[in-house]
Amino acid sequence: MFLNVYTISAFVGLGGALFGFDIGSMSGVLGTRQYEEFFGNPLGTLQGIITSAMAAGSFIGALSSSFVADKFSRKVTIQGGAVVWCIGAAIQASSNGVAMLIIGRVVGGLCIGVTSSTVPIYQSEIAPRKIRGRVVAFQVFAITCGTLIQYFIQYGCSFINSEAAFRIPWAVQAVPAVALFSGLFWFPYSPRWLASTGRWDEALQVLAFLRSKNRDVNDPLVLAEFKEIEDQMGLECEEQSSSFQELLSPKIRKRVFLAMAIQMWSQLSGMIVMMYYTRYLLASAGIANPDFASSMQYVINVVMTIPCILWTDRLGRRSSLLVAPIFMSLWLFLIGGLLMRYGEPNTVQSQPYTWKIVGHPAASRTILACTYLAVATFSVAWGPVSWIYPPEVVPLRVRATGVSLATAANWATNLALGFSVPPLFRSIRWRMFFIVGFFNICAFFHVLFFMPETKQRTLEEMDEIFEHGDPLWKSFTSRGDVNKLDKLARDIDIILLA
């Protein structure tokens, strides 16, 4: 029944794969001889600027995505992002120095900001309520697959004894963008976007295409969901306020701030260190072959995203984000503690780390295991859920704007961490892991006291979820499997049979 939704969502997830390609290419190139020789061995702050340039562009792209996605549709916005990505990839692949590389990464970041905001909105708006989490998680799975593929491309090219070692991988990044741009011509618009622009007949046709095996516009479930969208649109139009005024209203702002916080906590969890700078960490921990050891964590990242895809609509969003920070903080505290106990100053100042472990193989292996466990913990919880939650909780009228702000918060945090981690790795050393571990503890308490469960409910029911008044641990979703949509579908079925 939902084959169309799965197919569309998996394909649109290529927008996430672009972000993964950037992670894989940057983490894979760090420390390679060809990159260091051509770009002058950038260390500390300079490397932070290069890495964070993508996040800077993403921040701008995320903020601008709301206007484009509301005016030109979710689908066309994603296509536009794919074009921009190709331009950024071309600039990076032809870079003649650090300045041009930074410009190319900023341009590519514009695409990442746009697609990372718009793809989850598109996926959530076409998905049935019972599999919405799984459908949106496809983007995160695409990110992990893109990271893995590009890392091995970069690793393989590292054996080329020329500038092609980094130019080929950066050029290859354009391939999924071309596929994404071309393929979207055959996919439908979001039915909720069509409704928001007054194209009701088209919205009903798309809903029938997505929900009914026979594309029957008289299917009770299709008509029930269409009625919910229609009613919700009517209520939102009665507000008679601009989207920005509504964002600041007490009813909406707490949801937007919650969505922003969830995105920020996902970045502050420590995954930036594990994804972009894992080679620095493993080399300072005394791992003999940090390139190969790093590749294993990208495999783990892909594999451990699958359980979340399968179970998030059953176990929920809230439970995942309550358990994950506890374990993330444990792994990070262990890494910091082992580096503190067994490490010593690094006398080679030309290396990106000033603290290293020498002659303690058990401590080195334990740190390696903790990095793998941290990646696994993030991938099964924070990775997918931080992208599932924001488009769920913001109403349709302000969804693009609200999600763009949440995504911008993600990229602002990514920018700050991408810039600061290399110099912090050289200055405060192991203390950095204690700081990031503390962030996870803060995230746990924020989720505990402020995040309601949203699984198994339609997007039009979020008003009731946030306003029903029960304590968060008495989940709104525990009130039974029959919700308003099911009841409305039965009523419509009775009317049609009468």
**Closest of 494, 466, 498 to residue 224, by C-alpha:** 494
pLDDT in tens, 103-157: 999 999 999 999 989 999 999 999 888 888 888 898 889 999 998 999 889 888 9
pLDDT of 425 reads 78
Confidence grade of residue 239 (pLDDT, cut at 50, 70, 90)? low
Q: Where are the domains of the chain?
A: 3-185+217-479
CATH code for the part of the protein at 3-185+217-479: 1.20.1250.20
d(CA 86, CA 105): 11
Q: Higher confidence at residue 492 or residue 241? A: 492
**Closest of 126, 124, 151 to residue 137, by C-alpha:** 124
pLDDT in tens, 165-197: 999 999 999 999 999 999 999 999 999 999 988
* Average pLDDT along the chain: 86
pLDDT of 475 reads 54
Residues 6 or more apart in contact with residue 302 via CB below 8 angstroms: 141, 144, 145, 148, 379
pLDDT surpasses 70 at 482? no
Q: List the Cα angle 448/451/456 in 5-degree steps.
A: 120
d(CA 57, CA 112): 8
Main-chain phi, psi angles of 53, to 5 degrees: -60, -35
Mean pLDDT for the stretch of residues 18-35: 84
pLDDT of 370 reads 93
Q: Which residues of 74-86 are buried (b: 16+ CB within 10 A; e: fewer)?
A: bbebbbbbbebbb
Name the pTM for this structure: 0.85
pLDDT of 244 reads 64
pLDDT of 171 reads 93
pLDDT in tens, 47-92: 888 988 998 999 999 998 888 888 899 999 999 999 999 999 999 9
Mean pLDDT for the stretch of residues 367-380: 93
pLDDT of 261 reads 95
Residue 467 CB coordination number (10 Å):
10
d(CA 323, CA 378): 10
- The alpha-helical segments, DSSP class H, found in 30-43 are 33-39
Among 105-109, 140-144, 265-269, 397-401, which stretch is predicted with the lowest mean pLDDT?
A: 397-401
Q: Higher confidence at residue 254 or residue 239? A: 254
- The alpha-helical segments, DSSP class H, found in 238-360 are 243-247, 250-268, 271-276, 278-284, 290-315, 317-342
d(CA 17, CA 426): 31
d(CA 135, CA 128): 9
To which residue do tokens 């420590």 refer? 270
If residue 376 lies in a helix (H) or strand (E), which one and from where to where?
helix 361-380
What percentage of the chain carries pLDDT values higher than 90? 41
pLDDT of 126 reads 92
